[in-house]
A and B are shown apart, each in its own frame.
Chain A
Amino acid sequence: MSHMLTKKLPPVQSVLFLVSRRASQLSRQRYDVIVVGGGHAGTEAAAAAARIGAETLLVTQKIQTIGALSCNPSLGSVGKGHLVREVDALDGLCGRAGDWAGIHFSVLNRSKGPAVWGPRAQLDRQRYREFIQAELLSTPRLTVLEGSVEELLVSDPNPAEPGNHRVTGIRLANGSQLISASSVVLTTGTFLSGSLFVGQTSSPGGRMGDAPSSSGLTQTLRDRLGLRVGRLRTGTPPRLLKDSVDLSLAKLHPPDCQPTPFSFMNTHTHCKPEEQLPCYLIYTTPGVERVVRESLHLNCHIQQDAKGPRYCPSIESRVLRFPGRSHQVWLEPEGLTSDLLYPQGLSMTMPPDVQLRLIREIPSLHRAEIHTPGYGVQYDYVCPTQLSPALQVKNTQGLFLAGQINGTTGYEEAAAQGLWAGVNAARSALCRPPAALSRTESYIGVLVDDLVSRGVTEPYRMFTSRAEFRTSLRPDNADLRLTMKGFELGCVSAVRHHEAIRVHCSIQKAMAALQSLTMSSDSWRQKLPGIGMSENKHQKLSGMDLLQYKDVSFKMLASVFPESLSPYMEFSQRLKIEAVYKPHYDQNKSEIQRIQSEERMLLPQDINYFTLPVSLSQEVREILDRFRPTTLGAATRLEGMTPAAIANLFKYVRITRRQESTMSGKQAGHEERGGEEPCKRKAMLPQ
């Protein structure tokens, strides 16, 4: 299934020509969904909204930068790779774009178990941009407009729905042109009151080289809608000229010999295995630490108190927090033909001349030249506890937020939110109920639930340790977990849906076949000598049981029972993984069901917790008012909640008769995904 990769990409210039319309040339002045911003969140949001069937407009400051990788030229890794697989399972862009643009593929954590494998790739920046732009261009119902949004248009709410305001569209800068829409998705990244820092100078902006966004948007969010905002910071390293780096002093880090694609729809990557480029590993020296300390007084960014990401810190924070060590720095290719290297781990904000001094303290960089200096960014984010699990601002009907504006960091986190916000913005515009994803079924669900029920205090990044049911939420089964659900929501194409059903049915049949191959342990030992089965075992074992053994592969079983098993050779790795994890899934099942049932009980969003006429302590009222949980499940996860408060909230849900409303109505249909239900559904597919 590599049809996506055989598609001809149009040259970038023609893409720009075709979409670069002035606002006055737009075919319509009213859209179902307007997406503001063309980064990872914005592109996924726009594409998802259009897939759902909404007339969608993507507004971005510079069409050229749509799909730009502002920071590191890579996608995936542990936890983040899980998100890419899930976005792909819901027919998003980034997985396929990664397969098209990747120039160095590796699966991290190979030795640690399939649940935590981390698919990752270095990307060619230009190819990534080309793919995303071409994909958006060929998406029906999607229009791209270059422009700057001056203001959000807001009016009185629809009284039938909760909320204090309703978004009605946008006003563009330079000119008073209004474009109306039912839903607006803001994916402004670091541009919301963004400031750039190099050394002692700072200037407004969200990315070096791009104009700052209008202050009007921040004002609307803060003053008109009364949203609480916070401030975060991040940074990016200087880009180095490849020719000036002495790579003979660096440790070569080759890619996997056989690249593993991100997308479920691809069997191979665009880049041939032998065309892949390596990365290089180097280490900092005591000289680096000295330069950091000497230049602290020249470093504005590092002295600010806005919170930066703990796991992707600047070199300044690294040497200050863990002094006296050498720190790893990866030199990553920026593209097949690029003459730049990206020094991952050297994000810094000192003056450019000091940056040069610093990098030259590292042996392989002693003659290195900087192409673009590193810099820091500080930006506003909207406290995400003000959002619903559909990523809609709770007090403003039709307004959705995704990406760094919600306090996250990373392309993958942005893409996942963008897709989810796009799906819900479109469903809202088309008068369909919001879609829900549980944290028991996906990393996207974990991400969204963490954001909206707990909020953030620093840029939020995905880790596998955040997922309670990590052994069920694996990169290998994202399609089985999400594609059929995505098809029901309307964001998955029929082609992908067919493929997911084929995979699901084949795996089910193969597992049934394995289960039916039951023999005594003695017979197994005879058929498969040398599998390390204890001689003391004397019981009947099925093929599924056997497959759980470390040394038993599906291929071995298929060679013993070619008739019943050889049809499923294509899935040999997935079947092995399923067999190993099945007992643990069965163990987790009741806990998963408990959480899901609590998540089905909705709390009305317009409750005044301070006057609610039920018995609640003042402390609990304050917690509930601050976080305004959307479901009873979210409420139970808040710190400081008591069982008594939960019981009383349940009472309120009863009174207002909102329990089991729209959100769960949809869930009921596909809740039980086991068995052969999807196979039966195949017959009803649109042909």
Chain B
Amino acid sequence: MYYSATMLPISAVCGGIYRAAIRTLTRDITLYRCLSSGGRVLAGLADADTIFALSSGHGRCGVAVVRISGSAAATALRCMVGLGSQLPPPRTALLRSITDPHTKEVLDRGLVLWFPAPHSFTGEDSVEFHIHGGPAVITAVLQALGSVPGMRPADAGEFTRRAFHAGKLDLTEVEGLGDLIHAETEAQRRQALRQMSGELGRLYQDWSHRLKRTLAHVEAFIDFSEDELIEEGVLDQVDISVCDLRAEIEQHLKDERRGERLRSGVHVVIAGATNAGKSSLLNTLCQRPAAIVSPIAGTTRDVVESALNIGGFPVLLSDTAGLRDSTDLVEQEGVRRARERVQQADLTLLVVDSTILPSDEQEATALLLEHLRGVLSSQDQPGAGRCVLVLNKTDLLPEAHREKLNLGLRRVSGLPPVCLISCQTNEGLKDFLTVLQSSVKTMCGDPLSGAPTLTQARHRAHLQQCVAALAQYRRYRDSDLALAAEGVRLALTSLGRITGRVGAEEILDIIFKDFCIGK
């Protein structure tokens, strides 16, 4: 259910588009000139936004290709690959660490290719990252790209469109691309339909409908109010609906990425002191055949990741280095990364060796709280749902001690959920999985009930634009209604990128339905 079967052929065809891009590189310049009409079209589009997207299709795969196109591509390359002011030689694959431009965290190690304009698929400066295909890596890289100024996620088919404008496609490619885009948009349409038939779809349609009506009323006020009978209060109503819509969309955006998590996986990090049994826990969880979907092997980092399905929800599990003060430089780096992971985690499994706990519940609680403070950073303000305490190695505890901890710690308030398990004997594992599942479920939200949640980062971006555009209405409401209306138009366009296009005729239809316009 996580990765839809209809997506599979698409990623196969996307491989084709990628090969086509490579072929384009070797095409002779004469063809390019003839197509791009002296580069005018190209020049016209050069200062458009820089776009990025996962080009290899969604779905699990060994290697994922993230493509960037536009004038800021070189900037993105410099600040994410640590090249200083130097750009790599054109069209040469380099193995590099890809880092977050702000936190400098290493996101992945992969191939980096630089295609300066005009010798690229789109005819613009382009960069490709070939990274590991896990959802966590891909999400991290895409999020990092989104934080580079001037960059935004590409619209559906936008790379092809740019390539097309730049005249970079030859006959066979256009023909193949026609089918490809068709397949792509068909899949997107089906995917969108699935989404749109649900509650989320109804929510967006409702916003879109209200926004259309709001815009129609502003437009009616602009185009007709002077010599027609447009009711005086029209603009006041518009003020109210703009304000309401903005508040609702903002509220919706504050869902803490639940829908996106559902789509790309909950990040669960196993952390704790050395020798607490973290790797054993990972292995224990992964060895349950029903839970394993496809563990990712061969990452080059000291963080070991594995993808799981827990109660139907996608989970990305990471094992980290044990936390302790160390004079070893390599270990220090491992600990630093572990802490970063914990900071970014949706859920932390804090593993504690239960044999170090005193049998007195007061003392044990104090020790556990100290552990918690040491692992979870203070500004993170961990809520109870953000962490699960896993007391491991219970097989080594005397029966009485184990019972006392089990009963005593459950009564203590201020502690996250506590689970006593033994990775050795699998004792307590079933209870632990129940706790884990309910935490994950809370974080994803139940897709079948409750308020609809965002499922795509793309939706989030468009909704954010929508909110910003509605703010423009407010800003110009009293000084320039044309600019204020522009805000509502932009808001509708942003929302329209999710729900479908809105034409001027549709707005006029609403105007004539709602008002008696006539001289």
Contacts and interface: CB of A to CB of B under 8 A. Distances in A.
- Chain A interface size band reads 35 or more
Nearest to A616: B178
Interface of A: 72, 77-79, 108-109, 111-116, 118, 310-313, 317-318, 321-322, 325, 327-328, 330, 344-345, 454, 463-466, 468, 470-471, 550, 580-581, 584, 589-590, 593-594, 596-598, 600, 614-615, 642-648, 650-651, 654-655, 659-660, 668, 671
Interface in B23-62: 35, 37, 40-41, 44-45, 47-49
Nearest to B49: A590
B483 A113 contact: yes
Nearest to A580: B480
B222 A318 contact: no
Interface stretch (B169-177, B267-275, B295-303, B453-461): B169-177
A614 B229 contact: no
A647 B177 contact: yes
A115 B484 CA distance: 11
Contacts of A114: 480, 482
A468 B512 CA distance: 20
A313 B518 contact: yes
A453 B274 CA distance: 70
B160 interface: yes
Contacts of A310: 512, 517
A312 B519 contact: yes
B185 interface: yes
Interface string B462-490: 00000000000000100111111110000
Q: Which of B181, B185, B511, B519 has its CB near the most chain A CB atoms (within 10 A)?
A: B519
B45 A590 contact: yes
Given A111-B481, A465-B222, 4 more contacts: A115-B483, A328-B229, A465-B511, A593-B44
A647 B181 contact: yes
B508 interface: yes
A600 B35 CA distance: 13
Contacts of A322: 516
Interface of B: 35, 37, 40-41, 44-45, 47-49, 157, 160-161, 164-165, 169, 171, 174-175, 177-179, 181-182, 185, 219, 221-224, 226-229, 476, 479-486, 504-505, 507-508, 511-512, 516-519
A111 B480 CA distance: 8
Contact of B504 (A321, A330, A465, A600): A465
A325 B516 contact: yes
B226 A584 contact: no
Contact of A651 (B175, B223, B512, B518): B175
B512 A109 contact: no
A594 B486 contact: no
A614 B178 contact: yes
9 contacts: A78-B226, A112-B480, A465-B508, A470-B482, A580-B483, A594-B48, A642-B185, A644-B181, A646-B164
Contacts of A113: 476, 479-484
B154 to A, nearest CB: 13
Contacts of A118: 226
A345 B518 contact: yes
A654 B167 CA distance: 10
B48 A660 contact: no
Nearest to A590: B48
B238 to A, nearest CB: 13
B37 A643 contact: no
Contacts of B479: 113, 550
Contact of A327 (B44, B169, B229, B483): B229
B355 to A, nearest CB: 59
B486 A471 contact: yes
B499 to A, nearest CB: 15
Contacts of A454: 505
Contacts of B179: 615, 644
Contacts of B47: 589-590
B175 A597 contact: no
Contacts of A581: 483
B226 A109 contact: yes
Nearest to B480: A113
B518 A108 contact: no
Contacts of B226: 77-78, 108-109, 118
Nearest to B222: A116
A112 B481 CA distance: 5
Contacts of B482: 112-116, 464, 470-471
Nearest to A111: B481
A597 B516 contact: no
A465 B223 contact: yes
B45 A650 contact: no
A321 B516 contact: yes
A650 B165 CA distance: 10
Nearest to A325: B516
A470 B174 contact: no
A115 B157 CA distance: 34
Q: Which of A317, A325, A465 has its CB near the most chain B CB atoms (within 10 A)?
A: A465
B45 A594 contact: yes
Contacts of A470: 482, 485-486
Given A345-B519, A615-B179, A584 B164 contact: no
A575 to B, nearest CB: 16
Contact of A109 (B222, B507, B511, B519): B222
A114 B40 CA distance: 33
> What are the 5 tightest A-B residue pairs by CB atom distance, in nearest-first order?
A113-B480, A113-B482, A644-B182, A115-B482, A112-B481
A152 B181 CA distance: 47
B517 A647 contact: no
A468 B508 CA distance: 14
A495 B517 CA distance: 41
A597 B45 contact: yes
Contact of A647 (B35, B160, B222, B480): B160
Contacts of A312: 518-519
A636 to B, nearest CB: 10
Nearest to B179: A615
Contacts of B219: 463-465
A239 to B, nearest CB: 16
B178 A466 contact: no
A79 B185 CA distance: 37
Given A465-B219, A584-B486, A597-B45, A647 B518 contact: no
Nearest to B44: A593
A344 B519 contact: yes
A590 B48 CA distance: 5
Nearest to B509: A310
Contact of B227 (A77, A464, A466, A644): A77
Nearest to A345: B519
B222 to A, nearest CB: 5
A589 B224 CA distance: 28
A650 to B, nearest CB: 6
Nearest to A589: B47
A668 B40 contact: yes
B519 A643 contact: no
Contact of B516 (A108, A111, A327, A647): A327
Nearest to B166: A597
A445 B499 CA distance: 28
Contacts of A597: 40-41, 44-45, 165
Contacts of A651: 171, 174-175, 178
